Amino acid sequence: MGMTLTEKILARHAGLDRVEPGQIINARVDLVLANELSAAVSIGVMRSIAGADRVFDPEKIALVEDHFVPAKDAQSANLAKMMKDFAREQNIKHFFDVGRGGIEHVVLPEQGLIAPGEAIVGGDSHTCTFGALGAFATGMGSTDIAAAFVLGEVWLRVPPTIKIVYRGRLREMVFAKDLMLQTIGMLGIDGATYCAIEFHGPTVDELSITGRITMANMAIEAGAKNGIFHADAKTIAYVRERTSREFVVERADGDAVYQRVVEIDVDGLEPQIACPHTPDNVRPVTEVTREDIPLDQVFIGSCTNGYIEDLRVAAAILAGKKIASNLRVIVNPGSQAVWMQAAEEGILTTLAAAGCAVNTPGCGACFGGHMGTLGDGERCLSTTNRNYVGRMGSPKAEVYLGSPATCAASALTGKITDPRIVSAVGV
């Protein structure tokens, strides 16, 4: 009996010939990630461990300031300072300050810190993003991250795997975000609880690395332990451009045992909208637009859709036009590198000329902490990954989720809008 992709990676990292779902293992890790919020707790826990004076390997720790950047107050500044001081004390090479990094889940792949077959843990639930490159990656609590800082390994229960096979071709103005929203709508927010989601099929094989990143990022929204793609030639080329270190490309065995297999035909898929207040409350955009839903804010960015491809899509729709007067549009490129590329291509100028506010890279608006927080009664359409009550600010606000194309089209009309209509008529 064979193993799934996640099982193959975990077995190797546990030094075992095979593992099975439900088995408790100790697995070594190739990288441990923390941001200024999770690191603050992890550093304190590490200092309380007797004899734990040094991290296990300063080359295998990544610390990224991204949640309150630039610092919004003295408290957030002190959190950032604590992590920066820790990085200096421990000689941690991969420390990314504001202006040189961006959102952790965007920065690490583009900096060559993620490769196929690796095991990564992070103090943030969207660490599962890195499964897009064929790695096992999962979020953990700050206490577990503290132990990983010291030991270079974690204990975990091997997850069962759900195999999802996508067939068909995505139509115009339908993107990976729409595909993943549909998937979460089908599975439910607890439909993959503590499972690995293994993505398969010709549809996802055709996706760019960015599209795969978007899908892996949102695996946690179905409750998954991790989401993972097989590394193909496209993946290996992406990684090889960014690192020269060796890595192991694993593949699921042909006789691997899955908890279940889900088949999805995307030929008729239209843009999708996740309505308040859960990511699985998903409806086709044509159904939502019948309700004529006005907006107060549109947000484009985050670790889900803050990549150069996403900004290109938005800029193409907004070029030469003005956003509706009744709302604001906030754009957060995912990293400094994305920001600079967007500047070189004239995208930032296009967005600003349309009336968008372009921020420095960061997570602030996504979790309601900084630079894009919603007030009472406000309604936002966002490219982010969650829309729970209070996620982007006031618990009296409403958050809808959509693709960058849907967000940009809606920015022009001031209400939730089908991007295919805007594309067709040039609104």
What are 166-201's pLDDT values in tens digits? 999 999 999 999 999 999 999 999 999 999 999 999
Q: Which two tokens stand for residue 270?
A: 């239209």
Domain count, the chain: 2
Domain assignment present for residue 427? The answer is no
Q: Do 226 and 279 belong to one domain?
A: no
The model's pLDDT over 314-332, given as tens digits with 9 standing for 90+, comes to 999 999 999 999 999 999 9
Q: What is the CATH number of the domain that holds 387?
A: 3.30.499.10
Q: Do 311 and 412 belong to one domain?
A: yes
Average pLDDT estimate for 234-249: 96
Q: Do 290 and 240 belong to one domain?
A: no
* Integer Cα distance of 413 and 298 in angstroms: 11
Average pLDDT estimate for 44-54: 90
Q: Do 205 and 351 belong to one domain?
A: no
Q: Do 60 and 118 belong to one domain?
A: yes
Q: Is the pLDDT of residue 424 over 80?
A: no
Q: Do 256 and 376 belong to one domain?
A: no
Helix (H) or strand (E) segment spanning residue 64: strand 61-64
Domain assignment present for residue 252? The answer is yes
Q: Is the pLDDT of residue 394 over 70?
A: yes
Domain carrying residue 386: 273-422
Contact 11, 18 (CB under 8 A): yes
Contact 393, 376 (CB under 8 A): no
Domain assignment present for residue 179? The answer is yes
The model's pLDDT over 256-270, given as tens digits with 9 standing for 90+, comes to 999 999 999 999 999
List the one residue out of 82, 104, 172 whose CA is nearest residue 405. Answer: 172
User: What pLDDT, on a 0 to 100 scale, did the predictor assign at position 255?
Assistant: 96
Q: Could you say which DSSP state residue 386 is in?
A: -
Q: Do 77 and 184 belong to one domain?
A: yes
Q: Is the pLDDT of residue 126 over 80?
A: yes
The model's pLDDT over 205-215, given as tens digits with 9 standing for 90+, comes to 999 999 999 99
Average pLDDT estimate for 338-350: 97
* Integer Cα distance of 111 and 160 in angstroms: 31
Q: Is the pLDDT of residue 427 over 60?
A: no
Q: Do 21 and 79 belong to one domain?
A: yes
User: What pLDDT, on a 0 to 100 scale, did the predictor assign at position 41?
Assistant: 93
Residue at a domain's end among 264, 281, 314: 264
Q: Do 316 and 190 belong to one domain?
A: no
Contact 243, 235 (CB under 8 A): no
Q: How much of the chain, in percent, has pLDDT values that exceed 90?
A: 93
Q: Is the pLDDT of residue 96 over 60?
A: yes
Q: Compute and round to an integer the Cα radius of gyration of the chain.
A: 21
Domain assignment present for residue 78? The answer is yes
Q: Is the pLDDT of residue 81 over 90?
A: yes
| Ranges assigned E (strand) in 132-242 | 136-139, 153-157, 161-167, 196-200, 226-229
Q: Do 50 and 156 belong to one domain?
A: yes
* Integer Cα distance of 185 and 319 in angstroms: 32
Domain assignment present for residue 342? The answer is yes
Average pLDDT estimate for 272-298: 96
User: What pLDDT, on a 0 to 100 scale, did the predictor assign at position 158?
Assistant: 98
Residue at a domain's end among 264, 296, 312: 264
The band of 280, judged by pLDDT with boundaries at 50, 70 and 90, is: very high
Helix ranges (DSSP H) in 221-335 = 233-240, 285-289, 302-305, 308-318
Q: Do 100 and 199 belong to one domain?
A: yes
Q: Is the pTM of this model over 0.85?
A: yes
Q: Is the pLDDT of residue 367 over 90?
A: no
User: What pLDDT, on a 0 to 100 scale, did the predictor assign at position 423?
Assistant: 60
Residue at a domain's end among 201, 235, 264: 264
Q: How much of the chain, in percent, has pLDDT values that exceed 70?
A: 99
Average pLDDT estimate for 96-122: 96
Q: Do 228 and 154 belong to one domain?
A: yes
User: What pLDDT, on a 0 to 100 scale, did the predictor assign at position 365?
Assistant: 84
The band of 370, judged by pLDDT with boundaries at 50, 70 and 90, is: confident
Per-residue 3-state assignment (H helix, E strand, C coil) for 260-281: EEEEEECCCCCCEEECCCCCCC
Residues β-bridged to residue 301: 332
Domain assignment present for residue 32? The answer is yes
Instruction: Return the C-alpha torsion angle 238, 244, 246, 252, nearest 10.
Output: 0
